[in-house]
C-alpha cells in the first residue's frame, strides 16, 4: 500500500475529485488489471484510449484515476481523479515512487544512438563484471537480472516495467544497470522519473522516421537528445557529424570520445587483426586513459563501441588491465558473432537487416581483403519493398556472391520477397543464387566455402525463430550451423 499523495508528489497536478490522501493498493495502466483500491493511469495509445475505461474503473472500486482529459463519471462514484498534462509522463514518476525510487541507489547508464547500442551495453556489462560490479542489462535482445535472461519486447520498456526491473535488480544485489535508450522510449517518457548516472551517444543516421515513429530527422535527433537533459554526465562521440544537434539544450557535464585529436578519450594507431576464423581490431587508447586494446570484432565501428565502453567504465575506476582483459573476451549474440567452422574461412552471424547496416558491415569486411565476400540474407515480409530493393543493391555492389534466402516471411510468400531482392540485385553486376530454405542456404555457404572467404549470415542475428503466417517457429542459426556440420561430417 502507498498513499496517493506520496506517489504524485514530484508531479504538477490538479485533484479534481476526491482526496490525494487515499491509500493505493496497486498501480495499473492496463484496464484488464483494474482492481479494488488501484490507481489506474489512463494512457492514450495509438489504438486504445484508457480514458474510455474511467466508468469501469469507478465501478470496480479503483481508488484513483490519473487522467489528462475530462472523463464522465457517475455522481456518486467514490474515486479520486488527478489531472496531469501527460499521463505517460506521470506514469514514469508514479512508477518510480511505487517501487521506492530504485534508480536513486542503482547507478543507471543509458546508451542511445542509431547503431552500436547493443554491443556497447554488453561490452560495459562484461568490463564492469570483470572488475567486480554486479551489473544488470536492459536492451533490444533481453533484460538480464542476475542469472535470469528475459527476452525483450521493446528496446526500452514502458516506465512501469522499467522501474519494476530496477527494483528487481537492486533486490538481486546489482550495483549498476546499463541499458539501451531508444528515441521512442525518450519520446514516450519511459525514462522519466529518475536521473541517469551517465548518458552516452554513439552516432546518428536517418532511421525510425515514418508513421508512429518520428516525423523527420530533426525530431529523431531531438528525441535522442532528451537523454542529455536526464543524466548527470554525458559521454558523446564527437566524430559524429550530428552530435552538436543531438546535444542541443543539454544540462549535464560532457566528455567526448572518438578518433580526432580534440576527443578527451581517443583511439590511435588502428590496425586490423585477421586470424583463422576470427577478425578483430587493435588500437591505442589515449587521453583520459592510456593503454593498448584489442577487440575480437572487425572494423572501425567496433573501436567506437569499445571506446564508448571504456569511457563509461572509467567513471567506475576500472583499471586498464581489467578493461583489456574484458574486451578480449566480450561477445554479443548476433552482433558480428564469429562461429568457428573452418580454419580456412571465416563465418559470422550479424543482425544487419536493412541496407544501411548491411552496407556498413560489408564495407568494413572488405577492408580485411577476403578472397571472396559472401552474403547470405533475406528480408522480412509485410515490410517495405524499398528495403528489399536497397539490400539487394547493396549486396550486389559489395559482395562477391550473394545467397538470397528467407528471413521472416510473415504473411507473404518467401519467393515473392526473394523476387523483390533480386530486383535490387539486377541493378548491379553482382553474382547471386537463390535458396529459399535458410538451412540449405547456410549449408551451401559452408560446403562451398573457399580459403580466405568471409561469409556473413545477415538479418537474423540474435533471433531464434522464423515467423511464418503469424507463428514463430524455432530457428536459431547457431543450431542450423551445428546441424549442417554434423550432417556433412565436418569437424570444427
Residue 275 vs residue 472, higher pLDDT: 472
- Answer yes or no: is pLDDT of 209 > 80: no
- Answer yes or no: is pLDDT of 208 > 60: no
| pLDDT band of 460, cuts 50, 70, 90 | very high
- What are the angstrom distances between the C-alpha of 292 and each of 19, 132, 280, 286? 62, 22, 14, 9
For residue range 87-117, list pLDDT tens digits in order: 999 999 999 999 999 999 999 999 999 889 9
For residue range 32-69, list pLDDT tens digits in order: 999 999 999 999 987 899 999 999 999 999 999 999 99
At 121 the pLDDT is 97
Rounded (10°) angle between helices 117-130 and 300-314: 50
- What are the angstrom distances between the C-alpha of 258 and each of 27, 113, 191, 255, 313? 44, 15, 27, 11, 16
In terms of Cβ atoms closer than 10 Å to its own Cβ (0-12, 13-18, 19+), residue 135 is buried
- Cα(181)–Cα(184) distance, integer angstroms: 8
For residue range 136-158, list pLDDT tens digits in order: 999 999 999 999 999 998 889 99
At 331 the pLDDT is 85
Could you count the other beta carbons within 10 Å of the beta carbon of residue 319?
Answer: 14
At 210 the pLDDT is 54
- Answer yes or no: is pLDDT of 413 > 70: yes
> Is the pTM for the entire model greater than 0.85?
yes
Q: Are 224 and 201 in contact (CB under 8 A)?
A: yes
Amino acid at each position: 500500500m502507498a498513499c496517493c499523495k506520496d506517489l504524485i508528489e514530484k508531479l504538477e497536478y490538479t485533484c479534481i475529485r476526491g482526496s490525494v490522501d487515499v491509500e493505493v493498493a496497486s498501480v495499473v495502466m492496463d484496464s484488464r488489471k483494474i482492481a479494488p483500491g488501484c490507481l489506474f493511469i489512463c494512457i492514450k495509445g495509438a489504438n486504445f484510449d484508457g480514458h474510455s475505461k474511467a466508468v469501469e474503473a469507478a465501478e470496480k472500486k479503483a481508488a484513483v484515476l490519473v487522467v489528462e482529459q475530462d472523463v464522465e463519471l457517475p455522481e456518486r462514484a467514490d474515486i479520486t481523479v488527478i489531472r496531469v498534462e501527460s499521463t505517460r509522463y506521470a506514469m514514469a514518476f508514479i512508477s518510480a515512487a511505487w517501487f521506492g525510487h530504485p534508480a536513486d541507489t542503482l547507478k543507471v547508464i543509458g546508451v542511445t544512438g542509431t547503431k552500436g547500442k547493443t554491443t556497447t551495453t554488453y561490452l560495459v556489462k562484461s568490463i564492469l563484471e570483470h572488475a567486480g560490479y554486479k551489473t544488470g542489462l536492459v536492451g533490444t535482445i533481453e533484460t538480464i537480472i542476475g542469472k535470469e535472461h528475459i527476452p525483450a519486447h521493446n528496446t526500452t520498456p514502458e516506465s512501469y516495467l522499467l522501474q519494476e526491473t530496477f527494483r528487481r535488480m537492486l533486490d538481486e544485489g546489482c550495483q549498476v544497470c546499463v541499458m539501451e535508450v531508444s528515441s521512442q522510449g525518450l519520446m514516450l517518457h519511459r525514462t522519466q522519473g529518475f536521473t541517469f548516472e551517465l548518458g552516452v551517444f554513439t552516432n546518428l543516421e536517418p532511421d525510425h522516421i515514418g508513421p508512429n515513429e518520428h516525423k523527420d530527422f530533426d525530431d529523431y535527433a531531438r528525441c535522442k537528445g532528451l537523454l542529455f537533459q536526464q543524466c548527470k554526465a554525458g559521454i558523446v562521440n564527437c566524430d559524429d557529424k550530428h552530435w552538436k544537434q543531438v546535444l542541443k539544450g543539454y544540462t549535464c557535464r560532457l566528455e567526448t570520445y572518438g578518433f580526432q585529436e580534440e576527443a578527451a578519450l581517443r583511439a590511435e594507431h588502428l590496425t586490423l587483426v585477421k586470424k583463422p576464423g576470427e577478425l578483430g581490431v587493435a588500437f591505442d587508447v589515449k587521453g583520459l586513459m592510456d593503454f593498448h586494446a584489442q577487440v575480437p570484432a572487425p572494423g572501425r565501428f567496433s573501436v567506437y563501441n569499445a571506446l564508448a565502453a571504456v569511457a563509461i567504465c572509467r567513471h567506475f575506476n576500472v583499471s586498464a588491465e581489467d578493461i583489456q582483459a574484458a574486451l578480449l573476451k566480450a561477445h554479443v549474440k548476433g552482433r558480428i558473432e564469429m562461429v568457428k567452422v573452418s580454419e580456412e574461412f571465416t563465418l559470422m552471424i550479424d543482425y544487419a537487416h536493412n541496407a544501411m547496416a548491411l552496407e556498413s558491415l560489408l564495407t568494413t569486411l572488405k577492408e580485411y581483403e577476403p578472397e571472396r565476400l559472401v552474403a547470405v540474407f533475406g528480408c522480412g515480409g509485410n515490410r517495405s519493398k524499398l528495403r528489399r530493393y536497397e539490400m539487394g543493391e547493396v549486396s550486389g555492389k559489395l559482395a562477391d556472391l550473394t545467397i538470397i534466402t528467407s528471413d521472416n516471411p510473415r504473411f507473404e510468400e518467401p519467393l515473392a520477397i526473394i523476387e523483390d531482392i533480386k530486383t535490387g540485385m539486377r541493378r548491379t553486376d553482382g553474382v547471386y543464387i537463390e535458396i529459399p530454405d535458410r538451412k540449405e542456404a547456410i549449408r551451401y555457404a559452408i560446403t562451398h566455402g573457399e580459403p580466405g572467404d568471409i561469409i556473413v549470415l545477415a538479418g537474423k542475428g540474435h533471433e531464434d525463430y522464423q515467423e511464418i503466417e503469424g507463428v514463430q517457429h524455432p530457428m536459431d542459426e547457431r543450431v542450423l550451423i551445428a546441424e549442417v556440420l554434423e550432417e556433412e561430417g565436418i569437424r570444427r
